[in-house]
Amino acid sequence: MRQPVPYLLEIEEWGNQEMKRKLLWLFLSCLVVLTLVAWSCGGTTSVNGEEEEEEEELKPSEVGECTFEIDVVGQGNTNPSLGSHTYVGGHELTITAEPEQGYHFVGWGGDIQSTSDIVLIIVDRDISVTAYFELEEPDLVTLVINIIGPGTTEPEPDAYTYDKNASVTITAKPDTYAHFMGWSGNISGTSLEITITMDSDKAITANFERDQVTLDLAMTGEGGGIIPTVGVYTYDKGTLVTVEVDYVDEDTAYFDGWYNLQGAQVSDEYNYSFDIKNDTYLEARFVRLFYFSYSWQGPGSVESSQSAGIYGEGTEITATSYPDSGACFVGWFYNNGYLVSQQNPYQVIMSGDIQLEARFATAISLVINVDGPGSSNPTEGIHWYCQGSQESITVTPDPGAHLVSWTVDSYTIFSSDWSVHLDFGSHIFRVYNSAGILMAIFTSNEDVHVNIVFDS
């Protein structure tokens, strides 16, 4: 427990007698005045010092009442409290001063001069004192916020002053198409929001970086070029990218446009600009040009979904053949050279210059007659075939019956084999048995008749 500080009147020793005499005279004068004051409140006042003269001490019951006045300047409390208090003369009183938060005690003024917040006094006269309190000067620290890269902070980058040990929250805010890398300086970490205790001056930096994306640039076809050339390129996210057609050989190709990864066209302009926001695939398509024509030979006609002309590579064209009555479709031929299909209709996919020809021929009838208990495949009756086609005829006797003979246009071929193959040439007919052995060759300007005889 802190002890009260006695309030004393101090007199120092002086070096010469003259000064001592003057001081003694002054002391005696003051003593007389104090005695008169003490009598005025019904008692006497004792004064302590290095040199002390004692007077006859009056008992408290023999001394009158004295007033003790206390006042406050600033924010604080005293004991006794603010105001006027009455005590019996000679009363020992301890006065204390306690500052409120944010203030400190400066000292006592008035009839008491002291900087101690606890003082012991003797109330032997009317006394008036004032307790002085002052606002504390805050202990301040500085926070410096910096940024590197595309972003900012809340509060914004600057220098700020805070009370020491204050808690401060800072938030990193990356720009659009950027990301936060982390804090550096007097703090570390990658959280967007941090809270720091300002126990000292600090400097921190929020580090940002632009998002990166790639452009995969491709080209299909021939007859042209692009800028930049085919390759994979890296850009800052949100960058305006421009791609362009460098050249096109218009005699052999044309530019078909720019296409994305899903195969959808995004532009047909030679120069295409866009903000790249994600990894992007972009394909420049050049299409070679080819010539297409069609014709037919023989009794029939052809219809085409496209007329003769120049078309890009990959163009699909459908051709349909229509044989005349009594004629048959032989097939489709390319460039007057080779058979490519007997399918009708036929789809052409342009991959080069194409001259498509449909060939027709007069149909040949096969007349099958079955005599006796049995059947044939093809069945008995008239069947039509084109020149160059082939047919196999198979016979099946009924149960208990047998094959007697085969006759082709009055030529009896054999009677033991149950199968025959006919090869329809240009009025030249070849007959093979089931083993593939050529059995007969004959010519005819008429239809072919086959007669099959069974017997039970």
The residues spanned by each domain of the chain are: 5-135, 140-210, 215-287, 289-362, 364-455
| Separation of alpha carbons 375 and 401, rounded Å | 11
Q: What is the pLDDT of residue 49?
A: 37
User: For 42-65, what is each residue's pLDDT tens digit?
Assistant: 443 333 333 344 444 444 445 589
Chain position carrying tokens 């530019």: 255
439 Rama class: left (phi>0) / alpha (psi -120 to 50) / beta: alpha
The helix (run of H) or strand (run of E) holding residue 438 is strand 438-443
Who has greater pLDDT, 308 or 47? 308
How far is CA 149 from each of CA 143, 152, 172, 187, 381, rounded to the nearest angstrom? 20, 9, 12, 18, 91
352 DSSP assignment:
S
Interval 312-328 mean pLDDT: 91
Q: What is the CATH number of domain 140-210?
A: 3.10.20
| Separation of alpha carbons 332 and 40, rounded Å | 147
pTM confidence score = 0.48
User: For 61-101, what is each residue's pLDDT tens digit?
Assistant: 455 899 999 999 999 999 999 999 999 989 999 999 999 98
Sequence-ordered list of residues with C-beta below 8 angstroms from that of 354, at least 6 positions apart, any chain: 290, 291, 292, 293, 334, 335, 348
